[in-house]
Chain A
Amino acid sequence: MRLKSAVLRLELSSVETRIKRFIKDYVRKCGTSGVVLNVSGGVDSCTTAAISCLALGGRKVLGLFLPEEETYNAVDARHAKAVAEKFGFKLETVDISSALKACFETLPTYAEEDRVSRGNLKARMRMAFLYYYANRLKRIVCGSSDKSETMIGYFTKWGDVAADISPIMDLYKTQVRQLALNIGIPPEIAEKPSTPRLWPGHMAEEELGIEYEKLDLILFGLERFMSSEEIAGQLDLPLKRVEEIKRRWLSTEHKRRTPLTPKLGYRTAGADFRIPYATQ
C-alpha cells in the first residue's frame, strides 16, 4: 500500500449518506427532540452542524457559539453565523468569559501562567454549557471531534470531545475538509487552518509540529498496521517523527475510554458489561 493522499479520498456521497442516517437514527432511537452543538466557526464544528441539519432539518439543530474574551475571533464568529444562515439552524451566542472568570477566582490553586490547565477549563466550561442546554431542551449533544485529533489525543478530556454522538469521529481532518466542501461549506471555512483556541494565537499544526496532510497519512498507516519504519520510509520523514506520533496515539488511550477501574465484580462497567447502545 502506498501512502499517498489518494488513500484518504472518500466516496463522498456514500459517506454523507451514512453520517446523515447515523444522526437521524440515533436521535430517533433516543426519542430526543434534536441536537445541541458547539459551533466554533472551525471546519469540524461547521461541517457537523451542517450535516446535522441535512439529516434532521434545521429546526432540530441548535448551535451555540461560546466565545470568551481572551481568544475571541471575529472571523470565527462570522463563519459560524454564515453556516447557520446557509443551513438554516438557530445559532445562539453565549459569552462564557464571566463564568470562566468566576472559576479562576474561585480556584485556590489558579495559576495564570499555566495556559494548558486554563485552556482546558475553557473547553470544559463549553461542555457544561452545552449539556445545560441539552438538559433544558431534552436534546443530545452532538460532538465534532475528528479522527486525527481523537487518535493522537489532541483534545481536552471531558471537554470538547464530550458528547452523546460524534458523527465525524471516523474521518481524518483532511477527509473532513473533503466532506465540508462536498456539502457546501464555503472553502474559506473548509480550508482554514485548525485552531483549538485555548489561548491567543493557538494554532493546531504549529503546536503539533506537523501538517495535517502528513499527520493523516501517518495515522492512516498506523490504522492499517504498518510499521513506523515503513511509514517513515514512504513519507520520507525521520523515523523519530513517526515514532513520536505513534507514542502520542498509544499514550492517550485513557482519554478515549471510560475510566479504568480494578476488576472486582462479576461484570464491570467499561470492561465486560456489554450492553447494546440504544435498545428501544
Chain B
Amino acid sequence: MPKKIDVALAQMDCRVGDKKHNIEVMKRNAKEAREKGADLVVFPELSLTGYLTRDLTYELAETIPGPSVTSLEKIARSEKLHMIFGMLEHSDKARAIIYNTAVLLGPEGLIGKYRKMQLPTHSVFEEKRYFRQGYQLPVFETDIGKIGLTICYDIFFPEIFRLLKLQGAELIVCISASPAVRRKFFEIFTAARAMENTVFLAYTNLVGLEDGLQFWGGSRVVTPSGHIIVQAKYDEEDLVTGEVDYGDLQRIETFVPTLRDLRPEFFDLLKNRTENL
C-alpha cells in the first residue's frame, strides 16, 4: 500500500453523444496526467457521453465490460494508470435498465464500478426518468489505496459517505455534472464530507454547456482537515494534480475522532424517522 499517491483531475467539456471524441479527449488527458506523475486520473460524471443525453441515453448505454470500457482499459494499461470515469451502463439482463455509473480501471483492467444511488429528479434534472438507482456501495482495495466512488448528487447525502468510511475508504471520489447554480453547495459539501469522515476527497466536475446548463468546473482534492490541495479552474477545461498523503489520516483521525464517537442508536432513529416522513 503506497503512503502517497498523485491524483489528477481532468475537467472535460464533453461532446454530447460523441463517445469516440470523448474517449480521444480522455486518452489525451490520461497521457498528460501520467507525464505529470499521476497514479490516478479522475474524469467527470457521464464523461463518456456528456450529461444531458435525454432519449439518446437508450442508444448510448453499454454494458460493463463493453466496447468503450475495453477502449479505456487499453489506455489505462498503456499509461500504467488508474482511471475513474462516468458512463451510461445498461444491465446485461434488460436493455432498458440503465444506470448512471462510475467505473474504476487499473493498469490491469477493470477493477469495479459504482451505480449512482441518489438520482436527482427535480428542477432541471430528470435522472429517475432514465436511470435505475444503484444498491451497492463498494470500497475497492487497490494498489493506490482503499477507494470509494460516489456521483454528484450523492454528496447531498452524508450517510453514503459515512458508509464508505465505515468500510475503510481512505479516498472517496465524487464525479460530477454540477451546473453553476449549484456551485455553493458543492464547494461546501466537498469539504464537509471529507472533514466529517476524515477521508481524502477527489471531486471532478464537467465544464461547458449542455442545453443551456453551464457546468462550473472547480474540481478539487480536499484533505481530511478540509484543506484544498489543488483546485482546477472555474468554467474551463483543465487538468490538475495533487498529492494525497495517506500518512496524514491517522493523525487527523486522532485529532477529530468522528468514527470513534459515532452513536449507532442515532441510525435507528434516522431509519424510523425517514420511513415516516
**Residues of chain A whose beta carbon lies under 8 Å from any beta carbon of chain B:** 14, 17-18, 21-22, 25-26, 267, 273-280
A280 and B16 contacting across the interface, CB-CB below 8 Å: yes
**A165 (CB) vs chain B CBs: closest residue:** B212
Query: How long is the Cα–Cα vector from A275 to B209 in the complex, in angstroms?
Result: 15
11 interchain pairs, CB-CB under 8 A: A18-B214, A22-B212, A22-B214, A25-B208, A25-B209, A274-B54, A274-B126, A276-B53, A276-B210, A277-B212, A279-B17
A274 to B211, CA, bound (A): 11
Known: A17-B235, A18-B180, A267-B55. A276 touches B211 (CB 8 A): yes
Is B52 part of the binding interface, using a Cβ–Cβ cutoff of 8 Å? yes
Contact B55 A275 (CB under 8 A): yes
Check B209–A274 contact: CB distance below 8 A.
no
The chain B residue with its CB closest to the CB of A24 is B209
Indicate whether B77 reaches chain A with its CB closer than 8 angstroms. Answer: no
| Residue in contact with B16 in the complex, picked from A17, A274, A276, CB distance below 8 Å | A276
User: How many of chain B's residues have a CB under 8 angstroms from any CB in A?
Assistant: 19
**How far, in Å, is A20 (CB) from chain B's closest CB?**
11
A276 touching B235, Cβ below 8 Å: no
Q: Determine chain B's interface SS by DSSP, over half rule.
A: loop
Extra contacts, 6 of them, besides A26-B209, A274-B55, A276-B17 (Cβ < 8 A), are A17-B235, A18-B214, A276-B210, A276-B211, A277-B210, A280-B15
* Pair A276/B209 contact, Cβ less than 8 Å: no
Residues of A near B15 (CB, < 8 A) are 279-280
Docked-complex contact A273 and B55, CB < 8 angstroms? yes
CA distance A230 to B210 in the complex (A): 36
Q: How many A-B residue pairs have CB under 8 A?
A: 44
Query: Which residues of A lie under 8 Å from residue B187 when comparing CB positions?
Result: none
- Between B15, B53, B212, B214, the greatest number of chain A beta carbons within 10 A of the residue's beta carbon is seen for B212
Interface pair A279/B16, CB less than 8 Å apart: yes
Which residues of B are found within 8 Å of A22, using beta-carbon distances? 209, 212, 214
Once A17-B235, A25-B208 are accepted as A-B contacts, the answer to whether A276 and B54 lie under 8 Å apart by CB is yes
Q: Give the residues in chain A near B52, CB-CB below 8 Å.
A: 276
In the assembled complex, the Cα of A25 lies from the Cα of B56 at a distance in Å of 21
Nearest residue (CB) in A for B17 is A279
Within the complex, which residue of A21, A25, A26, A275 is in contact with B54, where a contact is CB–CB below 8 Å? A275
Tell me, in angstroms, the Cα distance from A280 to B15 when the chains sit together. 7
* B56/A279 in contact, CB under 8 A: yes
Residues of B within 8 A of A277 (CB): 210-212
3 closest A-B pairs by beta carbon, nearest first, are: A274-B54, A277-B211, A25-B209
Judged by a CB distance under 8 angstroms, whether B18 is at the interface is: yes
